[in-house]
Amino acid sequence: MTITADLGGRVAIVTGASSGLGRHFCSVLSGNGAQVVAAARRIDRLEHLVADGAAARAVECDVTNDGDVGALVAAAVELGGPHIVVNAAGFGDEGDALEVSVDEFRRTLDVDLTATFAVSQAAAKEMGSGGAIINIASILGLGASWPVKQAAYCAAKGGVINLTRQLGAEWAGRDIRVNAIAPGWFPSEITEEMFENEKSLAWIRRNTPMRRPGRLDELDGALLLLATSTFITGQVLAVDGGWSAR
């Protein structure tokens, strides 16, 4: 079943657009009529998206750089937006919490949490007639990661979830809906090693009630719902085959 929405006349910013979930979201949003401003550091990949019609603009952007974030939002303003923001830029640390350096911890929080706030704030200031912000959190923001040790990632994604609630409440009066998707396990660069390793895949299957990882297209319904819904805000929607229901 293909889920569709009418996003004609909408301008969407997607961070993390050079691979994985973000790249997929560009195709879904543009396929449903939105003009997509695709952002990431690997500009060559974004230019492919523009060439393929999955994005209207490619903006080279390090989400931890305030100037880059300003330029990203300015590109969306030039197109008449932004109306939708998908904060998908992110990466995961790994390591024993006794060993990980505080600098590394800060860097993960900078990209996964602080930049989510920075992009949301800069975009919200330009959303004169309201809009939808969709933060890509994680099931690892809903509970601990075990046995893989990821203190910074879990802290950041937990922060993204409560930031979503806070911004949803604060900006409700401006008709800016802020929601989060908490994906389970999906194929992307971040999870490439896991998906290539039969033991890791078996672990995902064993611990997921639906007994398998997700397909990228299984995120489309949540994305389009949160992009178009007019009365849902401050919520987190897990798309995880039942992982967080255990």
Ligand X SMILES: NC(=O)c1ccc[n+]([C@@H]2O[C@H](COP(=O)([O-])OP(=O)(O)OC[C@H]3O[C@@H](n4cnc5c(N)ncnc54)[C@H](OP(=O)(O)O)[C@@H]3O)[C@@H](O)[C@H]2O)c1
Out of 111, 133, 154, 223, point to the residue binding ligand X (CB under 6 A): 111
Q: State yes or no: residue 54 binds ligand X (CB under 6 A).
A: no
Contact (CB, 8 A) for 112 and 91: yes
Contact (CB, 8 A) for 51 and 30: no
Tokens (6 digits) for 96: 């024993």
Binding pattern for the stretch 69-108 against ligand X, x by CB under 6 A and - elsewhere? -------------------xxxx-----------------
CA dist 227 and 177 (Å) reads: 9
Tokens (6 digits) for 49: 């998206």
Minimum CB–partner distance for residue 15 and ligand X (Å): 6
Out of 77, 142, 190, 225, point to the residue binding ligand X (CB under 6 A): 190
Out of 59, 63, 154, 219, point to the residue binding ligand X (CB under 6 A): 63
Q: Is 189 exposed, middle or buried (0-12, 13-18, 19+ CB in 10 A)?
A: exposed
Minimum CB–partner distance for residue 32 and ligand X (Å): 20
CA dist 49 and 37 (Å) reads: 10
Cα dihedral 85, 86, 87, 88, rounded to 10, equals -160
Out of 31, 50, 62, 228, point to the residue binding ligand X (CB under 6 A): 62
Which stretches of the chain bind ligand X, using CB under 6 A?
15-22, 40-42, 61-64, 88-91, 111, 136, 138, 183, 185-186, 188-191
